[in-house]
Structure 1
């Protein structure tokens, strides 16, 4: 039986109509098609998310092999259900778990799903006005656009380039020495004092007032 179907069997009541319909499917495509047609799929997603959260906490506290295997199966089922957005959310939520020492929670999971969807470019319009919706074409067009945008317009031996370079103002040697000199306490105090209230000048989180 499909891992997704097993998770659905564990997360729903035995007499549920949704359970019977899903267990009749033989592939993830059939399961997904059934979920698309069934109006209560949001509840199923909610239950799977809750199960993943509880298994994550149990795995962190006990480290049992059976719990870890069940957690892996639940995550795989949920990723198959929600698509690539859920996979990105699981990775980002796991990263937050390692960096912030906070276990995976339903709040962070749902938040990262929404953030991942917002970061995806759904479509672009080409130079001739054609709407591009294919993900591969969108990536190719965006890469070509920025490659052309940041490419040099000056050619070797260009007369215009030589004239433009001759009229540009240049920094004197004396000013260069001042710019490269170490910061003085007066300059540092002036820079920190110019910050807005409640702002920190560094990554340590200490405010400028401190």
Structure 2
């Protein structure tokens, strides 16, 4: 997830907060405290309001706001375009202090990933990297990783071959012996989004 928590500035006369902005990917699991305040006295409770500070707030589908200034839940994976939501977070302290501060949520479309299976001939040459993964959507940088068929263990490719997680390409030398390997490719982004697809590498005999 993007939008790391930013600490509030300390204040002697009244509690102070800072503006917060968070970016998520549709379908992401959300679980975080939004505000880390200082300067108030006693217990605090938080309310979420629309940007005008008057009307009730409507959160993206799938998540909820807690009185402890937290967001939790799983965002619905139905967003086709980026959406921006603006709110006021009202923090009420036991000593009567009240602070309103702005919060912005951006929800981006889910990651989309196309995976191309690879068939090559044993002992042949890769004149250029083979594009295996093409991704779109999501939030920020997307990294695709190659796993064994169980989807958990990092994949071990034949000697001389390697998978480039940044470019989503297969690079190196083709094995001399025929073989077939089934793997899982998982892609994750900076907004909590993830996706996985099956991938097969087949080396045919000459």
Question: For the superposition of Structure 1 and Structure 2, which TM-score range results when normalised by the shorter chain?
Answer: under 0.3
Larger Rg: 1
**Which structure has more helix as a fraction of its residues?**
1
**Which structure has more strand as a fraction of its residues?**
2
**TM, length-normalised to structure 2:** 0.20
